[in-house]
Structure 1
Amino acid sequence: MPDTYLLHPGWEWPITIALTIAGVASGAYAAMGLIHFAGDKRDQAVAHRLAFIPLPLMLVVPLLLIIDLGQPGRFPNLLIRNPAAAERDGFLMFNANSPMNWGSWAMVLFGVFAAVAFADALHHSGRLHFSWLEPVSHNVVVLVIGELFALVVSGYSGVLLNVTNQGVWSDTWLMGALFICISELSGFALALIVSDRMSATHTSTALRTALFYAAGVSTVILVLFLADLATQQDGSLGALVASLHQFVAPAFWIGAVGLGLLVPLLALSPRPIVRVPNGSLALIGVLVLVGMLAFRYAMFFSAISFVQS
């Protein structure tokens, strides 16, 4: 049974949307980086188009967090020390033991790499010329560091949930890994939409394979996650997979499992049950993105369902 001392977590739509957008942005950057690492010139046009996506999304995130926190000064105070806070010295706020703090820094630093990718995409589109930037933006070390920050941002919301004293969120050690998988799946789905709309057949073929295997890995992690919840025997599993409160269970089964995982597994496998030709792959990408949004909704609101059950 839920712990009677647990309070309503107080998470509302702004922070849910903010962390979802951050996950999609980090996933898109990760997909872009992997395309660059592959080194096939036939894929570069898609990578450059994909690079337009992370920065605008990351600019929206702090606005939503400010709305959620209720006071404009609270989000900057996660990064810059408030003069009234006497517990720490120095101008900057950094606490390695606080996922909210280091996660905020990770999002800011990831935003820098997203800005570099955006500027490089502008250069390759011919709209602005930053020829001096290409040796930096395509540098392997820069890409690797950017990928690492993308992974941190991908898993940040899962780790943040995990350290809260809430049912479902704190009942398993797999939250961070699961959110990384979901973010990468979102990134590949977005990349598939872009490549399909650009009629980049070679890239679309590679991405449909990548999306299939990403869905497979995500499914394995999700099964382990559910099995871990089942061992708790405190109602946390039911709060996610069986609760009708705020449509958590329908969002989980129909959205996350059905659209987010089963659709790519069935449609993009080497021997697909439903054949989807190149040119129609964007629809698969859209369905997966909807499924990943449903996953985050179900995950965020399952703790509310747990408290109120």
Structure 2
Amino acid sequence: MKNVLITGGAGFLGAHLCERVLAAGNRVICLDNLYTGSKANIEHFLSHPNFQFREWDVCDPLDIEVDEIYNFACPASPPHYQADPVRTMKISVLGALNMLDLAKKYGAKIIQASTSEIYGDPLVHPQTESYWGNVNSIGIRACYDEGKRAAETLFYDYHRQYGVNIRVVRIFNTYGPGMNAEDGRVVSNFIVQALKGEDLTIYGDGSQTRSFCYRDDLVEGIIRLMNAPDEVTFPVNIGNPNEFTVRQLAEIVLELTGSKSQLILLPLPQDDPTQRCPDISRAQDHLAWQPNVELREGILRTIEYFNDQLSNFNRLNRASRVEASA
């Protein structure tokens, strides 16, 4: 039984990591300041004897003896990380420093949740881990893009200078149950808009591409990377190599929800990538990993999740109105 620290553990991916690591028979310390995470995501773990939740900001140093660290604390959707860009950069850089110091002190293995955003608006397609990227270092997305790039730099410097046992996963677009309906990501936006009968908002002409990986597939890849041999310290892309345009995604959501919503085109945000698709050769070769859930199947599961969320919300609203009028 290992002591495993998961920062950002009350977030979309962090909560599923908590579930998987607990199920493997380990103790989990979940750290989250609930800035974008939610206690509702981990509520069903709170009574588990091997689960501990600490409301904590990773920008503050922490001293707790652990065997493994999953560093997943950081807002990941553009509306959230652009709302307070200085805070976003601090979380990426100070959070990485504090967790690396903890790993160094206790000889813990540590994995950094990096991102496909370190490739920026790529000039190489699909993106391999050897590609250095095309990032606007002074743009509105730079707080996240450059924050994650700086965190990677710290990880490799701690590895070379102090011998810290590191892993770096570059996460591509991920979706699935547990997403925040208001996090501004394209999958949640489209599904919630379709279920509410609202128009689906496409930024640009919809020809930009993304590669959508289902949550369970992604977390499986992350756990395999954590458990990989010590020589696997190089960055590893984890994502789905099947590429779709944003317009294709919208059409799939409309079909699977049965919605009659229309597509509305809005201006493309600054520095929004025009292509995004991972080369997953390293994950296949070193982790024997590849995604299994096809997009339509994963979207159906996610629609069911959001449908339940909206139904519960509407039911609570009706109950509140009845109580208020009594």
Tell me which protein shows more strand as a share of its residues: 2
Per chain length, whose mean CA-contact separation is higher, i.e. which structure has more relative contact order (CA < 8 Å, sep 6+)? Answer: 1
Higher helix share: 1
Q: TM-score, with normalisation over the residues of structure 1?
A: 0.27
Question: What's the TM-score, normalizing by structure 2?
Answer: 0.26
